[in-house]
């Protein structure tokens, strides 16, 4: 993954500010919308939409369920909090370099946000975290990071940024608290929210059963192909981070491992066998669950922003 974009932060910030009214020029909170989760813009007030193609340094998302638009507006009760939301993100599997993937996070930081709420669609590796659950991420496991695919590799974008970034506190306990308090206020069922560890994989293939078992055994609860690069850049920029993963599918359920050997042996012995079929995940399924559950996630985000 190369550093293929010129560092044009000022040009990007200028292009954005030029089209914003004064009350939206310094957003307080950034939001990244995961697959099928861009509906939050519908509850913004005074909305200004800027296509990524109008912002120097921004790429274009190629994934269904990801628009390529930066949305500014006021969110929450009263006067509202000025926010900026990425309606669509970039993933390395699309061919974007890691520096392109995290570029919008750096621009949101330059615009002045202090907190960032990152959402994603993810597969569950944990049998006690069913589809539809919103997982408040408390930690991550990023095999690509450990093996050299880290967006912070290479020259830093500013000499003021820390070279060796600690990640023991990457997921803000204070913001995570606000999420659970917001859920209480919204009277969400206790089972609506869980806490867990996000495994970042490069994709675009979904996991094999063996990979799913491996990620579960090494401590991950959910898995996805995004988010971690953004978290790293956000932390490097000094932002407070909270990540909400909407579980759209199960990656692996132990009972779905069918043994063809046993099946054939049983058949040869004249026994009737009805073994469960393996599940096949699809992006259409991911988007469908996203559509079904996006409302709750959006209410949660709005309520957290309101309580900041
Ligand atoms: O993480 P987001 O962007 O929500 O999307 C998730 O959904 C896609 C797979 O269906 C992958 O891109 C995965 O990361």
* Six-digit token string for 153: 């590799």
Q: What is the CATH number of the domain that holds 108?
A: 3.40.50.1580
Asked if 214 contacts 171 with a C-beta cutoff of 8 angstroms, the reply is no
pLDDT of residue 20: 96
Where residue 201 falls among pLDDT bands split at 50, 70, 90? very high
* Six-digit token string for 65: 């369920």
Domain assignment present for 64: yes
For the CA atoms of 183, 26, 90, 58, the dihedral, rounded to the nearest 10 degrees, stands at: 170
90 marked as part of a ligand binding site: yes
Atom of ligand 1 nearest to the CA of 206: 9
Residue 209 DSSP code: H
Q: What's the rounded mean pLDDT across residues 105-131?
A: 96
One of 1, 66, 230, 245 is an active-site residue; which one? 66
pLDDT of residue 2: 38
Give the tens place of pLDDT for each residue, 59-87: 988 988 778 999 999 999 889 999 999 99
Listed in sequence order, the DSSP H helices in 132-258 are 143-146, 173-185, 209-217, 228-236
Domain assignment present for 1: no
Residue 13 DSSP code: H
Angstrom distance (rounded) from CA 83 to CA 72:
6
Bigger pLDDT: 278 vs 266: 266
* Six-digit token string for 288: 């469908």
Range of the domain at 86: 7-307
* Six-digit token string for 39: 């509906």
Q: What's the rounded mean pLDDT across residues 217-226?
A: 96
Token pair 């450990």 is at which residue? 146
Where residue 200 falls among pLDDT bands split at 50, 70, 90? very high
Q: What's the rounded mean pLDDT across residues 292-304?
A: 92
Ligand 1 within 6 A of CB of 286? yes
Q: Which of 16-30, 228-242, 270-284 has the lowest mean pLDDT?
A: 270-284
Where residue 139 falls among pLDDT bands split at 50, 70, 90? very high
Asked if 75 contacts 305 with a C-beta cutoff of 8 angstroms, the reply is yes
Domain assignment present for 135: yes
Asked if 70 contacts 85 with a C-beta cutoff of 8 angstroms, the reply is yes
For the CA atoms of 201, 92, 65, 67, the dihedral, rounded to the nearest 10 degrees, stands at: 150
Distance from the CA of 19 to the center of ligand 1, in angstroms? 30
Residue 277 DSSP code: P
CA-based nearest residue to 54, from 6, 93, 18: 18
- Please say if the pLDDT value at position 3 is more than 50: no
**Count of H helices and E strands in the chain?**
8, 9
pLDDT of residue 1: 35
Atom of ligand 1 nearest to the CA of 93: 12
Count of domains in the chain? Answer: 1
What is the average pLDDT score of the chain?
91
Q: What's the rounded mean pLDDT across residues 167-185?
A: 96
91 has catalytic annotation: yes
44 marked as part of a ligand binding site: no
Domain assignment present for 2: no
Domain assignment present for 104: yes
CA-based nearest residue to 215, from 121, 128, 126: 126
3-state secondary structure labels for all residues of 153-180: CCCCCCCCCCCCCCCCCCCCHHHHHHHH
Give the tens place of pLDDT for each residue, 28-52: 999 999 987 888 999 999 999 999 9
């Amino acid at each position: 993954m190369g550093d293929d974009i010129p560092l044009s932060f000022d040009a990007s910030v200028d292009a954005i500010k030029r089209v914003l009214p004064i009350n939206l020029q310094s957003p307080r909170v950034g939001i990244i919308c995961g697959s099928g989760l861009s509906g939050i813009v519908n509850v913004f007030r005074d909305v200004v939409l800027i296509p990524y193609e109008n912002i120097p340094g921004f790429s274009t998302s190629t994934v269904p369920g990801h628009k390529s638009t930066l949305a500014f507006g006021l969110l929450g009760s009263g006067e509202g909090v000025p926010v900026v939301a990425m309606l669509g993100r970039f993933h390395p599997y699309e061919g974007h370099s890691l520096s392109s993937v995290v570029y919008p996070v750096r621009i949101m930081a330059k615009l002045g946000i202090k907190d960032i709420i990152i959402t994603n669609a993810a597969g569950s590796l944990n049998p006690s975290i069913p589809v539809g659950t919103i997982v408040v991420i408390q930690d991550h496991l990023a095999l690509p990071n450990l093996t050299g695919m880290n967006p912070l590799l290479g020259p830093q974008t500013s000499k003021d940024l820390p070279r060796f970034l600690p990640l023991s506190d990457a997921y803000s306990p204070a913001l995570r608290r606000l999420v659970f308090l917001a859920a209480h206020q919204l009277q969400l069922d206790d089972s609506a929210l869980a806490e867990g560890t996000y495994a970042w994989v490069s994709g675009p293939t979904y996991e094999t059963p063996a990979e799913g078992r491996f990620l579960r055994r090494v401590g991950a609860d959910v898995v996805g192909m995004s988010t971690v690069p953004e978290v790293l850049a956000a932390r490097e920029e000094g932002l407070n981070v909270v990540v909400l993963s909407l579980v759209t599918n199960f990656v692996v359920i132990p009972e779905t491992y069918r043994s063809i050997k046993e099946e054939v042996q049983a058949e040869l012995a004249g026994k009737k066998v009805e073994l469960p079929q393996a599940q096949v995940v699809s992006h259409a399924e991911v988007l469908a669950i996203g559509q079904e559950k996006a409302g709750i996630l959006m209410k949660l985000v709005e309520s957290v922003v309101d309580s900041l």
